[in-house]
Structure formats: C-alpha cells, structure tokens
Amino acid sequence: MSGLSFERVDFGYGDRLLLRRTWLDLSGGGLTALVGPNGAGKSTLLKLAGGLLNPTSGRVMLDGRSLSDLPDRERARAIGYLAPDGRSAWPMTVRNIVALGRAPWRKPLRDLGEADTAAIDRAMAQTGISDMAERRFNTLSSGERARTLIARTLAGQAPLMVLDEPTAALDVKHQLGVMAILQKAAASGTQVIVAVHALDMAARFADRVLVMKRGEMLADGPPDEALAEDVVRDVFGVRAPGGIAPTPLSVDGRD
Amino acid sequence: MKPVRSLNLVLVLAVVLAAVLSLCVGEADIGLAALSGLFAADPSLDTLILRELRLPRLLLGLLVGAGLGGAGAVMQGFFRNPLADPGIVGISASAGLGAVAALYFSLASLFALALPLAGVAGAGAGVALLFLIAGRGASATTLILSGVAVNAMAGALTALLMNLAPNPWALAEIAYWLMGSLKDASWTEVGFAAPLVLTGLAILATAGRGIEALSLGEDTARSLGIDLGRLRLSVVAGTALAVGGGVAVAGAIGFVGLVVPHLLRPLVGYRPAALILPAMLGGALLVTLADLFVRLISGPGMPLYLGVVTALLGAPFFLWLVRSTQKVAP
C-alpha cells in the first residue's frame, strides 16, 4: 500500500498561492476523485502529488520520505502521472506509446525485456485496446487516445496513479468507459487519484471525493458527504437538491 | 524492434558499398586490388592515393555525415519538431564562426586542436543561444525564428571577421572553406575530427530514452523519471561535439540533418529513440554519396563544393517540409 501525504503544503509564485495549507492523507487506497471549479488548483495539487512541482513550503511525503528527495527514477516507479493534454509529437503506434510507460524501468540502450512486454500487454488488455496495437496515435478517436494514454500510465505499474482530467474531451459513453477502467485498476490494488469535472461520475465511481476551491480543500470524504447540497452550492454555485446523485447511466451493450 | 534492426543492417551494408565505391572512383582509376597493399612498407602509387587521399576523405565524410544525421535526429526529438536541423537553426553557422575566429586570430597555429575545438565551442554557444531564445518545447515558428536569429548572429560575426581579414587570400580561404568540402581531407583532419565527433555521437546515443519520453510532453517525460536538465545538457554537448567537430574541418554541409531523419523516421515507426542510430548511418551514407557525386561531375578546372550540392538538394526539400508540416499541425 502506497502512502502519499501532504503536510501543510503551500504552493505559489510570489505572493499568489495556488494551493494553501493543504493537509492530505492519501494512503487509504481505492479511487479518489478530485473536483472543483476551473482554477481551483486541481492540476497544481496533482503535479505536487506526482512530484513534478516542489512545495513552496510544507512537504509531500511518500512512505515516510519527502518526495523532492527521491531520485527521479524511483519516484517515477512509485507514481504514475497522466498529463491533461493528451497529445503525441509523433504518430507512433498505440503499442509504442504504451511502451513509453516502461521508461522508469528500462536500462539505457536496451530493448524491452520480458517484464516490460508483459506489463504493456496487461495494460492494453485492461484498457481494451489490444486490438488496435498497431494503429497510429494520430488516427485514433479521442476516446481511443484517452484509453491509450491511460494504458501508458498503467504500464508503469506504479502503486499510485495520478490522472489530470482523463475524461475532459470525452462524450458520456467514453467517460463511463474510462471511469470503469480506473475503478477496476483501483479494485486490483492501485491507488488512483483522478481529477474530473462531471460530479455525477465522481459520485458514481469514487470511494472518496476531494473538493477544492481557490487553492483550498473544502471537503474530503465519501461522495454523499463531500458532494452534499451545501458543499456543491458553496463551491460550484450550483443548486443540487439532496446533493449529487451518482450517474444512473451505464453503457448499452449493443453498438 | 526487429524492423529497426534490419533497417540498421541495410544501412550498414549500404554505407560499406558506398565506401568501396568512393575508394574506387576518382581521377585515377584504381581497382580494389590496391587496397591489399594498404599496410605495405613500400606501397604502389595507387595504394598511396588510396591511403593518403581517398581513405581519409572517405572517413571524414562518414564522420561529418554521422554527426549531422545523429544531431538532427536528437534535436528533432528534443524540440518535438521535424524542422530542427543543425544547419537551419544556426548550429553549423556558429561552429563555422568559431572556426573562422580560430583561423582569423591564428589560433590554429598555436596548437593543432585549436581549430576543431573552436568549432565545437562555436557550436556549443550556438545551441546554448538557441535554447535561451526558443526554450524547450517551442512551437515550430518560435524555433525557426530563433534559428534565424542564431544564424544571423553567427553570419554577421563571420562577415565581420571576413571584412577585417588581413588580405584577400585569407578572405578567399575562409569563403571557400565555409562552402563545405572534403577535398582537402588528410589524416590530420581525420585525427582532429574523429575523437570529437565520436564522443558527440556517443553522447547523442544516450539521449534516446529522454527524447522518446518527451514525445508526450515535458510533464509526462519528467513523470517518467527523465531529468530534463541533464537531457538538455547532453543534447547541447552531443550536438556541439558531433556538428562542431565536423564543421571545423569540413565546413558547413547543410541539410543532411534535416533530410536524413525525415526520410528514415517512418521506417522506425516514428520513434525518436529508434531513429538515432539509423540517422547516423544515413547521414554517413548521404555525405559519402554526395561527395562521390561531387567528384564525378566536377572537372579538373571546376571543383564543385560538397556543401553547395547538399544545399541545392536540401533547400527545396526544406521548403516542401515546411509546407507539409503546416498542413498537419496548425
């Protein structure tokens, strides 16, 4: 079980703090959804969790060690991070994109080993993209791209996965697909932290919901508490009588 | 992985073939039989021509080509941009400036390695300046404009040195040398260039894991454990050595680093890391063939410069590439 915790973390540039006095314990496992309006500091929090930013003050700890003290490679093996803009500079095949996830495990100038190949195959099976292994990334639909990039993150087999809005550009069916993949990963022992916009998706799939606004954590708990009527009104300025209900939608088997 | 390996094999074979051809073709008609006496104590005239003229010329061409091709592949991977070529973004011109300065201030007569080292220093300054202006992950436009700035700066300073050149011979020497040629290659030049270029190639080869991860952007690369600062340093050092070492002894031979990676990229599945070695081999092949072509068509009274030929072939290609990249990525 991976234990990531924020200990009174501030982050900002100059006087402007994007994240304020954040205490957070992310060691419980399961799927944690991070919600909040635009500019709430979700991406900043996730980058801090991924070790891509260092706190201005306070510490982000992983299993008792400060994240900023960990060697790059060791940190990369422990935490998988999915960036919000899902683009590839080159039209590589799906399989080669997924293989990038093995970078923290690879030795210089060596081909992929057996463990790498097995991890890649498994990640592609988990995300249902095994049959498009040889397709080029630029020919994929946005749903297929999202699944390929999640497979890339899964291939690293890190015990902790941090994903910044993997469902951003997706229609409802593909959102359901992606959330189901993440839920399965969480069920098999990976701790998943994912930023999402759709509150009903968070309510349906998450074990725990974090609610942020203007750099502060305003709620943290199971979906029915964290997405209660008053929280949603204060944070989003939206009325949700009775709180946010889990989305009743599921994917229709027929195509 | 397999297709890449067979591509490398094909390229190695092609380089060997081109090398043999290059040794046999020239003003004197020499058969391969002369090769057998290469290490003989009392070589025949044919063997002497091979040993003292054609072999060093061949080796220098291979080195210069491999350096340009490899540097092009790595820079394009790092900038995530197929237009990043050592010539276009001003690295070759900066290396040229370094070498011209060494010639101008007669540093080359102080100690033998001064000229190639000045070339490397110039190239290093050029890459550093490029990084400073363009930054990482610059858009195609920013990168090319930064390259124009670096090119202009190096060109202006080179022109200043030529302007102040003490006599017309020095001026002519600089001007011809800048056109890029392998015609004066001797073992001395090979001895200068080889350690620098080979070191550069070795450094460039280590950039593979980093530039491959960069395909998905900087944040993703860092999350995969890539130290971007260190990667940048190896791109700067590798490019400076591989390009600077070659330019200092052979002048600026343009567009090799642009054309070769572009043609080979589809054959390695567009993987930046897998492209590095083929691009080195392809660069060596292209320069050897171009030099062969230059020797075949230039008459005794009309020496054609290699750099002129590659530029004539490369410039239209560049134009076409700019148009096609604009169509794909807005």
Q: Using the beta-carbon criterion (under 8 Å), do B265 and A112 form an inter-chain contact?
A: no
Nearest-10 Cα torsion for B88, B92, B93, B97 = 170
CB pairs under 8 A between A and B: 84
**From B140, which residue of chain A is nearest by alpha-carbon distance?**
A89
* First vs last C-alpha separation in chain B: 31
Q: Using the beta-carbon criterion (under 8 Å), do B219 and A76 form an inter-chain contact?
A: no
Q: State the CB neighbour count (10 A cutoff) for residue A171.
A: 12
* First vs last C-alpha separation in chain A: 38
pLDDT at B43: 72
Chain B partners within 8 Å of A165 (Cβ): none
Range of the domain at B159: 59-328
Q: Is residue B253 part of a domain?
A: yes
**From B218, which residue of chain A is nearest by alpha-carbon distance?**
A83
A208: which 2 tokens? 């725990």
CA distance A227 to chain B (A): 30
Q: Walk along chain B (330 residues) and give the pLDDT tens digit of each residue.
A: 467 889 999 999 999 999 999 888 776 667 666 666 666 677 777 777 878 888 999 999 999 999 999 999 999 999 898 888 898 889 999 999 998 888 888 777 777 778 888 999 999 999 888 888 877 656 767 888 888 899 999 999 998 988 887 777 778 777 877 888 888 788 888 988 999 999 999 999 999 999 999 999 999 999 999 998 889 889 989 999 999 999 888 888 888 999 999 999 999 999 999 999 999 999 999 999 999 988 888 767 777 888 888 888 888 888 888 787 765 543
Chain B partners within 8 Å of A156 (Cβ): 224
pLDDT at A100: 96
Query: Is residue B162 exposed (0-12), middle (13-18) or buried (19+ Cβ within 10 Å)?
Result: middle
**From A70, which residue of chain B is nearest by alpha-carbon distance?**
B225
H/E/C letters for each residue in B235-259?
HHHHHHHHHHHHHHHHCCCCCHHHH
Q: Report whether pLDDT(A138) > 60.
A: yes
Chain B partners within 8 Å of A87 (Cβ): 216-217
CA distance A183 to chain B (A): 22
Cα B61–chain centre separation: 9
Which of A54, A73, A92 to mutate against chain B (most B CBs within 10 Å)? Answer: A92
Question: Chain A contact for B27, CB < 8 A?
Answer: no
Chain A partners within 8 Å of B209 (Cβ): 103, 106, 108
Q: What is the phi/psi pair of residue B44, to 5°? A: -75, 170
Chain A partners within 8 Å of B217 (Cβ): 83, 85, 87, 89
Q: What is the phi/psi pair of residue B285, to 5°? A: -65, -50
CB B37, CB B252: distance < 8 Å: no
pLDDT at B34: 66
Q: What is the phi/psi pair of residue A194, to 5°? A: -135, 130
The CATH number of the structural domain formed by A4-236 is 3.40.50.300
Question: What are the residues whose beta carbons fall under 8 Å from the beta carbon of A108, sequence distance 6 or more?
Answer: B206, B208, B209
Question: Chain B contact for A100, CB < 8 A?
Answer: yes
- Residues 222-241, chain B, touching A (beta carbon < 8 A): 222-227
Strands (E), A87-207: 160-164, 191-195
Query: Is residue B50 exposed (0-12), middle (13-18) or buried (19+ Cβ within 10 Å)?
Result: buried
3-state helix, strand, coil in chain A (%, to 5): 40, 25, 35
Q: Is residue B167 part of a domain?
A: yes
- Residues 258-277, chain B, touching A (beta carbon < 8 A): 265, 269-272
CB B86, CB B283: distance < 8 Å: no
pLDDT at B31: 67
Q: How many domains does chain B fold into? A: 1
At residue A63's C-alpha, the angle toward residues A62 and A67, to 5°, is: 25
Q: Is residue B238 part of a domain?
A: yes
Chain B partners within 8 Å of A51 (Cβ): 223
Give pLDDT tens digits for B127-164.
888 888 877 656 767 888 888 899 999 999 998 988 88
Q: Where are the domains of chain A?
A: 4-236
Q: Is residue B267 part of a domain?
A: yes
- At B113 the three-state DSSP class reads coil
Nearest neighbour of B209 by CB, restricted to A89, A91, A106:
A106
**From B214, which residue of chain A is nearest by alpha-carbon distance?**
A89
The residue ranking higher by pLDDT, B132 or A30, is A30
Nearest neighbour of A92 by CB, restricted to B81, B222, B269:
B269
pLDDT classification of A255: cutoffs 50, 70, 90: low
Indicate which CATH number applies to the domain containing B104.
Answer: 1.10.3470.10
Chain B partners within 8 Å of A89 (Cβ): 80-81, 214-217
Chain A partners within 8 Å of B271 (Cβ): 90, 92, 96
Residue closest to B71 by CA, chosen among B53, B96, B90: B90
Q: Using the beta-carbon criterion (under 8 Å), do B209 and A50 form an inter-chain contact?
A: no
Q: Using the beta-carbon criterion (under 8 Å), do A87 and B216 form an inter-chain contact?
A: yes
**Angle, in degrees to the nearest 10, between helices B55-79 and B187-205:** 30
CB A227, CB A196: distance < 8 Å: no
ipTM field:
0.92
- At A23 the three-state DSSP class reads strand
Q: What is the phi/psi pair of residue B314, to 5°? A: -80, -35
